[in-house]
């Protein structure tokens, strides 16, 4: 076996590998590898013929063939690495993402105006150290009425006003106000309590522009040593100013609720006409219907009978409570005129009133 044959084989193999690289062809590279390193490659054939040589020649020729095969393998590896690197570079450039291309974002939702207002009102109270309380919408008749000192024949208990749940012997109803959370709070929390309870309430009303059978209230209850009507008025004025601006004024009108004594309805001075539409047909006000005041909810000093029903010593503790309609508050604040829009779930309505989701 002549020295020149091995050099030629190495040279030919290198050329074949480089040719495949020039063509950027992995297939050709594989073919060239089979031809120069496979079992029919010239140096493999020569290896098999070594046995025919004299022992002293065999050793030297074997070593030369080994060196030739190693050189070919080395050449192959280098070309393969080059092809791989080119391939990677090409893929990287082809698959590059242009992060500056403008994209169409999926529209995000919007908070329902009622939810947004609940958040705003709760924030006012949480900032004063009050806590948020909750109760179920399917409520025990006892908590909704009896515990709050409603007599058994109170008209609010009529089927025409209240939605009763089956079976009747369970005495469960859809709560008609958030006030049952008052009793739940007194029965489960330690005194003093300062809580607000936002939630849905139900009444057997026909649906029209100003009535829905389901609507929203936020209840407030404070029970501590020495609380009275002045604390209630101060709290309501603070809430009104936080919600409607520093000019907001509230007034209390005597009223009756079984669970507060004395009781009042609270009105908010119309923040559109500031009362100037009253008796002034030239300047009618749609927001307050020229009445100067807007009805906001009910309130009062907690009736001691309610506190006693919860086992509280009324010689030591007293409290105040209020509950207002949140749907109406959104109507005043955002000039929405038809309550039915609140139930439609049209995101354009929510966005117009609240803006994008916060």
Residues making contact with ligand PHE (CB under 6 A): 177, 179, 219, 257, 260, 297-300, 321-323
Compute the least distance from the CB of residue 199 to ligand PHE, in Å.
12
- In the complex with ligand PHE, the residue whose CB is nearer, 32 or 266, is 266
> Of 79 and 321, which CB lies nearer to ligand PHE in the complex structure?
321
Q: Which is nearer to ligand PHE, 299 or 353 (CB)?
A: 299
CB of 210 to ligand PHE, least distance (A): 16
- Nearest approach in angstroms of CB 326 to ligand PHE is 12
Residue 7 or 161 with smaller CB distance to ligand PHE: 161
Query: In the bound complex, what is the minimum distance in angstroms from residue 126's beta carbon to ligand PHE?
Result: 19
**With the C-alpha atoms ordered 84, 89, 94, 98, is the resulting torsion angle positive or negative?**
positive
Least distance to ligand PHE, CB of residue 275, Å: 24
| Nearest CB to ligand PHE, comparing residues 68 and 298 | 298
Peptide bond into 161 cis (omega under 30): no
Is residue 175 a contact partner of residue 135, using CB atoms and an 8 Å limit? yes
Smaller CB separation from ligand PHE, 162 or 290? 162
Q: How far is the CB of 141 from ligand PHE (least distance, A)?
A: 15
Nearest distance in Å: CB 166, ligand PHE? 24
**Separation between Cα atoms, residue 219 and residue 302, nearest integer Å:** 13
State which residue, 248 or 252, has the beta carbon closest to ligand PHE.
252
């Amino acid at each position: 076996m002549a020295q020149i044959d091995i050099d030629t084989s190495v040279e030919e193999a290198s050329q074949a590998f480089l040719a495949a690289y020039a063509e950027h062809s992995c297939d050709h590279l594989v073919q060239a590898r089979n031809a120069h390193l496979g079992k029919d490659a010239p140096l493999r054939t020569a290896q098999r013929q070594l046995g025919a040589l004299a022992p002293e020649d065999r050793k030297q020729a074997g070593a030369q063939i080994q060196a030739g095969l190693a050189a070919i393998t080395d050449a192959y590896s280098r070309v393969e690495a080059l092809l791989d690197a080119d391939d990677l570079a090409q893929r990287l450039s082809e698959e590059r993402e242009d992060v500056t291309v403008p994209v169409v974002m999926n529209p995000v939702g919007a908070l329902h105006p009622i939810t947004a207002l609940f958040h705003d009102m709760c924030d006012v109270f949480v900032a004063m150290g009050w806590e948020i309380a909750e109760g179920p919408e399917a409520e025990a008749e006892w908590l909704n009425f009896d515990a709050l000192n409603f007599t058994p024949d109170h008209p609010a208990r009529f089927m025409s006003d209240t939605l009763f749940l089956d079976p009747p012997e369970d005495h469960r109803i859809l709560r008609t106000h958030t006030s049952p959370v008052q009793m739940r709070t007194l029965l489960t929390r330690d005194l003093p309590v300062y809580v607000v309870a936002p939630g849905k309430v139900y009444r057997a009303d026909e649906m029209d522009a100003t009535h829905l059978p389901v609507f929203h209230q936020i209840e407030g209850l404070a029970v501590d040593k020495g609380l009275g009507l002045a604390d209630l008025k101060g709290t309501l004025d603070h809430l009104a100013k936080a919600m409607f601006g520093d000019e907001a004024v509230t007034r209390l009108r005597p009223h009756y609720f079984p669970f507060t004594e004395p009781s009042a309805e609270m009105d908010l001075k119309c923040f559109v006409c500031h009362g100037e539409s009253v008796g002034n047909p030239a300047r009618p006000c749609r927001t307050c219907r020229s009445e100067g005041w807007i009805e906001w909810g009910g309130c009062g000093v907690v009736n001691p009978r309610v506190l006693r029903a919860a086992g509280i010593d009324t010689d030591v503790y007293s409290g105040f409570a209020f509950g207002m309609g949140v749907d109406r508050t959104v109507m005043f604040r955002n000039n929405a005129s038809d309550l039915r829009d609140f139930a439609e779930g049209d995101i354009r309505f929510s966005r117009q009133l609240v803006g994008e989701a916060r």
